[in-house]
Amino acid sequence: MTTVPSDTQPTADSGQQAGCYVYGILPGDAELTEEVYGVGDRGVKLVRSGELAALVSEVDLAAPLGTPRDFQAHKELLDSIITGSPVLPLRFGAVLTGEDAVGEELLDPHHDEFVKVLEELDGQLQYVVKGRYAEQAILQEILSGNPEAAELREQIRGKDPDATREERIRLGEIINSAVAAMREEDTNAMLSRMEGHCTASFVRDPTHELDAAHVAFLVAEGEADEAEQVVDDVAADWEGRIDVRLLGPMAPYDFVSTSQPGSEPA
């Protein structure tokens, strides 16, 4: 996982009315081929310094920042850039006092680190595979493979929930444990199928109790079609048991971490 210094998340002075919102960092020769807009529907521009350029827009500090629309604008902008240039995405909410500060406080102090990261990310795209178990199918799979679970299911069927509270709790524990074990197995299967078709992978935490797999993959741009086909093949194999969604291409959010200057990579 690529690392960058942790002191790259600046904030503007609290007394200011306007700040310079920073979305991400690109190579210095990058160009915006069309007019684009970001947070607050503000126009986006490039601030350059040396071999680097920062994607920025003006932001009204008096207005609330952090609405779902703001998050979406931040992500959509970075994802639209990735197919034309490597980009180092910054976390949502990075604001500096002005364009001069972008160079002096962000780009210049970390110039070499950022250049190195962008070189590593050049030609790489992120995809995210999300698999969600079909509830009835997976429940039947658990019951058919676990006699205790099947017996508990019969014991509580049509019974008063209060009178069968302990049985319901035990059945829930068995199901949760079984789903966790299947999630690990199916995630590993997804990783195995993508081996040789990705540069790196990162297993995300589940966002739902029925998540079967939630994995980010870094894929070379020239291998994208093959990687997408692999995911399609897995989805076909899992049809009826796991619903698969492929998200991307997107900026490499999961493959850039932060560390204190001089510390070991995370």
The model's pLDDT over 23-78, given as tens digits with 9 standing for 90+, comes to: 999 999 999 988 899 999 999 999 999 999 999 999 998 888 888 999 999 999 99
- 137 belongs to a structural domain: yes
The residue out of 107, 122, 137 marking a domain boundary is: 122
Is 0.75 surpassed by the pTM of this model? yes
Domain co-membership, 71 together with 168: no
Q: What is the pLDDT of residues 239-249, one digit of tens each?
A: 999 999 999 99
176 and 234 both lie in a single domain: yes
The amino acid at 252: P
Kindly state whether residue 17 falls inside one of the protein's structural domains: yes
At 124, phi and psi to the nearest 5? -110, 140
User: Looking at the domain assignment, is residue 142 inside a domain?
Assistant: yes
Residue 161 has pLDDT above 80, yes or no: yes
Q: Nearest Cα to 172, choosing from 186, 183, 161?
A: 161
What is the total count of domains within the chain?
A: 2
pLDDT on residue 185: 98
**Which residues, including other chains, have CB under 8 Å from residue 182's CB and lie 6 or more apart?**
133, 138, 141, 212
Q: What's the pLDDT at 260?
A: 34
**Confidence tier at 17 by pLDDT (50, 70, 90):** confident
104 and 214 fall within a common domain: no
Please identify, among 106, 122, 138, the residue that sits at the C-terminal boundary of a domain: 122
DSSP string, 192-243: HHHTTS-SEEEEPPPSSTTEEEEEEEEEEGGGHHHHHHHHHHHHHHTTTTEE
Report yes or no: 218 and 125 within 8 Å, Cβ to Cβ: yes
Give residues with Cβ within 8 angstroms of 75, minimum separation 6: 250, 251
**Same domain for 118 and 88:** yes
CB 236 within 8 A of CB 193: no
Q: How far apart are CA 67 and CA 209, in angstroms?
A: 26
- Tell me the pLDDT band of 265, cut-offs 50, 70 and 90: very low
> Which tokens in the block code for residue 139?
């429940």
Predicted confidence (pLDDT) at residue 263 exceeds the cutoff of 80: no
In a domain, 265, yes or no: no
Conformational region of residue 172, where left means phi above 0, alpha means psi within -120 to 50, and beta covers everything else: alpha
Q: Is the peptide bond before 249 cis (omega within 30 degrees of 0)?
A: yes
Does residue 118 belong to any structural domain of this protein? yes
Rounded Cα gap, residues 206 and 212, in angstroms: 8
**Residues 83, 33 share a domain:** yes
**111 and 136 both lie in a single domain:** no
Range of the domain at 240: 125-255
**Shared domain check, 129 and 235:** yes
256-259 and 2-5 as β-strands: parallel, antiparallel, unpaired?
A: parallel
Are residue 237 and residue 200 in the same domain, yes or no?
yes
Domain of 146, CATH number, reads: 3.30.70.260
Is it the case that residue 154 has pLDDT exceeding 90?
A: yes
